[in-house]
């Protein structure tokens, strides 16, 4: 990988290097889905996974298999595209003038031909030892420290170890240890967690076949086109601890430049 004068240089995409600190970290991106729980909704303990609640019917998700990989390299951006089964696409890219790695994901339409509702998540696995601690910005106002299987105010035993460790992520989720940090910025509010050491997990897309009895009265099964929705979004991955840079990038991702495209009825010289 050529040098481009930036502080972060990915060697797409199995590891990334903080050149300022001459430090390399591993990064692995994998996709998974949780099968949704089906209950009878008569008592709270028997609720289905639905629009209001995430309730997987498994303690570990099913990992998707990569089917094809393509690389595109050019003067501005290097991309690696991985197509997974279950209609999932991941485009990992690095713009040579920008200080982040972008993972553009596409999920759907989610296949429900097996009558199983599914909830898709992405996992970013690094070699950072975070001791079960991770940070989410919760409601977008304040970054809060989360600890796996713990609550700060009382002793807790989680009956649902996956959902019980999921927290709202409005803009950012990160793990850190000493000088090392892995931050993932989201382009929309998502659920996120860190279930294993060095890992950041974010929920991407859900399609469920049963109502969860919290009031909506419908399953989360959007079939406007008869097939379910396709969702496409982006995560931006940073290794920096520069809070100003991160803060700016959070706003930049949410308030992207507004783009207008218009036909030019005038030649270039006149436009100039």
Q: How far is Cα 76 from Cα 11, in angstroms, rounded to an integer? A: 15
Which lies closer to other proteins via its Cβ, residue 27 or residue 107? 107
Which parts of 227-256 interact with other proteins (CB under 8 A)? 227, 230, 232, 248, 251-252, 255-256
First to last CA, the chain: 37
Among 25-33, 90-98, 148-156, 172-180, the segment contacting other proteins (CB under 8 A): 90-98
Q: Which residues of 215-240 are buried (b: 16+ CB within 10 A; e: fewer)?
A: eeeebbbeeeeeebbebebbbbbbbb
CB of residue 249 to other proteins, shortest distance in Å: 9
Among 8-16, 22-30, 87-95, 115-123, the segment contacting other proteins (CB under 8 A): 87-95
Which lies closer to other proteins via its Cβ, residue 1 or residue 156? 1
SS3 label, residue 71: strand
* Residue of 206, 186, 183 whose CA lies nearest to 56: 206
Which lies closer to other proteins via its Cβ, residue 3 or residue 255? 255
Pairing of strands 23-35, 62-63: antiparallel
CB of residue 269 to other proteins, shortest distance in Å: 9
Which parts of 37-76 interact with other proteins (CB under 8 A)? 51-52, 68-76
Q: Among residues 23, 85, 218, 242, which is the contact residue for other proteins, using CB under 8 A?
A: 218
Surface-to-core class of residue 116, CB atoms within 10 Å of its CB (0-12 exposed, 13-18 middle, 19+ buried): middle
The answer for residues whose C-beta is within 8 angstroms of residue 7's C-beta and 6 or more apart is 18, 19, 20, 99, 240
CB-based contact 249:240 (threshold 8 Å) = no
Q: Verify binding: residue 260, other proteins, rule CB under 8 A.
A: yes
Contacts 24+ apart (CB under 8 A), 220-224: 220/50, 220/51, 220/117, 221/112, 221/117
Which lies closer to other proteins via its Cβ, residue 95 or residue 167? 95
Rounded CA Rg of the chain: 20
Which lies closer to other proteins via its Cβ, residue 76 or residue 156? 76
Which lies closer to other proteins via its Cβ, residue 76 or residue 158? 76
Which parts of 96-125 interact with other proteins (CB under 8 A)? 97-98, 106, 109
Q: Among residues 8, 29, 37, 89, which is the contact residue for other proteins, using CB under 8 A?
A: 89
Contact residues for other proteins, defined by CB under 8 A: 51-52, 68-77, 79, 81, 83, 87, 89, 91, 95, 97-98, 106, 109, 189, 214-218, 220, 222, 224-225, 227, 230, 232, 248, 251-252, 255-268, 271-272
């Amino acid at each position: 990988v050529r040098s481009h004068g930036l502080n972060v240089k990915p060697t797409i995409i199995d590891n990334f290097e903080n050149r300022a600190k001459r430090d390399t970290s591993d990064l692995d991106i994998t996709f998974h889905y949780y099968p949704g729980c089906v209950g009878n909704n008569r008592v709270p303990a028997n609720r289905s996974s639905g629009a209001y609640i995430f309730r997987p019917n498994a303690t570990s998700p099913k990992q998707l298999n990569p089917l094809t990989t393509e690389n595109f390299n050019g003067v501005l951006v290097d991309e690696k595209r991985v197509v997974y089964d279950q209609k999932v696409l991941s485009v990992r890219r690095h713009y040579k003038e920008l200080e982040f790695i972008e993972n553009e994901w596409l999920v759907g339409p989610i296949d429900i031909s097996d009558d199983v509702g599914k909830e898709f998540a992405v996992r970013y696995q690094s070699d950072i030892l975070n001791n079960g601690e991770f940070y989410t910005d919760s409601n977008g106002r304040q970054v809060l420290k989360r600890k796996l299987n713990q609550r700060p105010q009382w002793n807790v035993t989680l009956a649902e170890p996956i959902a019980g460790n999921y927290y709202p992520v409005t803009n950012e989720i990160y793990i850190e240890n000493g000088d090392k940090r892995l931050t993932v910025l989201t382009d929309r509010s998502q659920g996120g967690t860190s279930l294993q050491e060095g890992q950041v997990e974010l929920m991407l897309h859900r399609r469920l076949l049963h109502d969860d009895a919290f009031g909506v009265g419908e399953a989360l099964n959007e079939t406007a086109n008869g097939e379910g929705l396709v969702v496409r979004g982006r995560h931006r991955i940073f290794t920096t601890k520069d809070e100003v840079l991160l803060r700016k990038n959070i706003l930049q991702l949410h308030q992207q430049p507004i783009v207008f495209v218009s036909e030019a009825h005038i030649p270039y010289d006149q436009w100039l």
